[in-house]
Amino acid sequence: MDKPEQILTISAVLDGALSSSDYSGAEAQVKEAILDAQGLIENHLHQKVMVHRTTQLVEPRDWLVDERTDTTKVRAWAETQPVVQVVSPPELSVRIGGSRQFVRNEAQVTEAEYFAGWRRRDQALSDLPTGTDERLDGLTTEPPPLPGEIRRVALNLTLYALNEAEHAPGITDRQQATGAGTVTISGPDPGFEQRQLRKLDRYRRAQP
């Protein structure tokens, strides 16, 4: 069963696999490959991908004068992005026109609690367990859809893992069609995962 925190649906992966290879594995294997791909992406980005609740301690030194929009305010970078909704404290807000910085009136120690991350494009706010799942309880703002680049890399990594599980190492070159085009696979390719992950460097945690 597809869960809200999964980066891909099982059916989306099966559609990609069946249209481009002879993969015939079970859904359990597909789910495992999805979660493995998601883990690789989250480790590379240093944050969770799908919407979740998180906390962050912001020290006084982390706050900068918001010179671009209002010099009476201070701003600080959110460690997990994009910020979807601030839970507490009530005087904390998200910078207008952005989803990467917090804003408040003065620089002081702040424990920010907030929702951050994306949703799958097949999900709406009503599809998320906002009233029954403690991790999403209180979420009233619809998260932005997962960027296409992240989804394509997740699909590439998932299909690659499934192909490696289906075929013995050392096979001849074969073409693997994916949502991002065609990937040539020739047995185990230790550099494949890193080449895919490097495509997501711009989504890594932003710095001041």
Q: Are 83 and 94 in contact (CB under 8 A)?
A: yes
Q: Could you tell me the pTM of the whole model?
A: 0.82
85 forms bridges with which residues in the sheet?
115
Q: Where are the beta strands (DSSP E) in the chain?
A: 52-58, 64-65, 74-77, 83-88, 93-94, 101-104, 110-116, 174-178, 181-185
Q: Is residue 78 predicted with pLDDT exceeding 70?
A: yes
Q: Which amino acid is at 156?
A: N
Q: Is 132 exposed, middle or buried, given 0-12, 13-18 or 19+ CB atoms closer than 10 A?
A: exposed
Q: Once rounded to an integer, what is the mean pLDDT over residues 147-166?
A: 89
φ, ψ (nearest 5 deg) of residue 75: -135, 155
User: What is the per-residue pLDDT for 44?
Assistant: 95
Quickly state the pLDDT bin for 180 (edges 50, 70, 90): low
Query: Where is pLDDT greater, at 198 or 131?
Result: 198
Cα 198 from Cα 193, distance rounded (Å)? 9
Domain ranges of the chain: 10-48+146-203, 52-127
Q: Using one digit for the tens of pLDDT, what is the confidence trace for 21-40?
A: 555 567 888 899 999 999 99
Residue 186 · residue 176 · CB < 8 Å = no
The pLDDT confidence band at residue 148, using thresholds 50, 70 and 90, is very high
Report helix, strand or coil for 27.
helix
- Give the dihedral of Cα atoms 157, 160, 165, 170; nearest 10 deg: -140
In this predicted model, what pLDDT tens digit does every residue of 48-73 receive, in sequence order? 999 999 999 999 999 999 777 778 89
- pLDDT band of residue 208 (cuts 50, 70, 90) is very low
